[in-house]
Amino acid sequence: MDAVTSFLNKKIWAIVGATDNTEKFGYKIYKCMKTAGYTVYPVNPGVSDIQGVKCYPRLQDLPEQPEVVDVVVPPKVGEQIMKECAEAGIKNVWLQPGANAESVSKLGKQLGLEVIDTGCVMSEIHVRGISHK
């Protein structure tokens, strides 16, 4: 099984960079994954909730550990997220286009994380017709 399939089979995700701004990918990815039936926790210290769902300031604040962290933040923030994932024992990280700088991907791999740094999770869900409902 390839890494993308393995990640998409996991049901509990955190979206770091999720937002209530419907024009941004942080919102679109969050909405897409919720619609596909994933358990999705939005993470963004600057947003209190997304359509009535609590948005958590940090990964450490989540009520359960996600199986995958989807990163939709600038590379400078992404490097810190990689460190937080490693510290929390979260092994799977998907870097969205724009967040997938080589420095972030390289750091994640150095920390022992499984990193996907090509492609968009939304596109993969649509192409594969995934539904966990």
- What pTM was estimated for this model as a whole? 0.96
SS3 per-residue string spanning 28-83: HHHHHHHHCCCEEEEECCCCCEECCEECECCHHHCCCCCCEEEECCCHHHHHHHHH
- Please indicate, yes or no, if residue 87 is contained in any of the structural domains: yes
- Residue 63: CATH number of its domain: 3.40.50.720
User: What is the pLDDT tens value at each position of the chain, 133 positions in all?
Assistant: 799 999 999 999 999 999 999 999 999 999 999 999 999 999 999 999 999 999 999 999 999 999 999 999 999 999 999 999 999 999 999 999 999 999 999 999 999 999 999 999 999 999 888 888 7
Q: Which domain holds residue 11?
A: 3-128
Report the domain count for the chain: 1
**Residue 133 resides in a domain:** no
